[in-house]
Structure 1
Amino acid sequence: MGAAHTYRVIVRGAFEGLADEVRARLLAEVDDHGMTAMRFTEEGSLAYDRTLKHFSFRYVVVSDSDDGEEMAGAIAEDRAEGALRELGAGHGTLTSKVTDMDTMKINRKGR
């Protein structure tokens, strides 16, 4: 069993078949889900705009390093599906981009 690694995952997708009441609720809350609201958290932060076409979630996933980035992406996509289900929002295929924060190399400029 490997060490626990922290992954940042961006899950992207497109809304599909939004009911009128869901569309109205999302539009009423659109200002809370713009660029300034995007944060990586375990609960995830949802971002979308007034067109209600595309959306993204940002998640922090802590997972066994042996399971790798693929598992972290699957966990985040599962969380996103659950959040969308709670909203009553239909969606198409989800895709994810995963960054392992424990293996990420940081280049610092010399002082």
Structure 2
Amino acid sequence: MSTRTFRITVRGVFDRLDDGQRAELLAHAAEHDVLRAAFTPEGHLSYDLAARPAFTFRFLDSGEAEEDILTAAEHAEDAARAWLDERGYGYKNLRVNAEDLSQAPLGKRQRRALSGS
């Protein structure tokens, strides 16, 4: 059995941040800029609080079977909640989206490379 790679995004909205929390997030905004976003095993958080209160965590995970994506999605959501809860950041509207890269359609260049053209 081959290893499958999963990309999981956990999206949500910061909710009821106090002035100190808002200032803390703004102070670290450069580390969490969407242009630096990456899928990582520990999860990468991105947001632009000056524009809107939304955030996205990006996780990279793997598994052997197709159904392992469900466990990976649960772990990603739990990790995102834990990060937010540890810092006391309020949030709402969490949504999780998981993609199995072995099931992703090939792009035009990938199809061309496989066909040898």
TM-score of the superposed pair, with normalisation by structure 2: 0.80
Identity %: 32
**Structure 1 segments of 4 or more deviating over 6 A?**
none
How many residues align structurally? 110
Shift of 1:61: 1.9
Structure of larger gyration radius: 2
Which protein has the bigger helix share?
A: 2
Structure 2 CA distance for aligned equivalents of residues 31 and 52 of structure 1: 15
SS of the aligned residue for 2:92 comes to coil
Judge conservation of contact 1:22–1:89 (CA < 8 Å) in 2: yes
Residues in 2 aligned to 1:90 and 1:4: alpha-carbon distance in whole angstroms: 36
Alpha-carbon separation, structure 2, partners of 1:64 and 1:93: 30
**How do residues 62-77 of structure 1 correspond to structure 2 at under 5 angstroms?**
62-77=62-77
Please tell me whether residue 21 in structure 1 is matched to residue 26 in structure 2. Answer: no
- SS in structure 1 of the partner of residue 93 of structure 2: coil
Alignment correspondent of 2:56: 56
Q: Structure 2: which amino acid aligns with 1:13?
A: G
CA root-mean-square deviation: 2.0
Match of 1:33 in 2: 32
Q: Give the distance between the partners of 2:45 and 2:4, measured in 1 at CA.
A: 23
Gaps of 5+ in 2: none
Specify every segment of 5 or more residues in structure 1 that has no aligned partner in the other structure, as ranges.
Answer: none
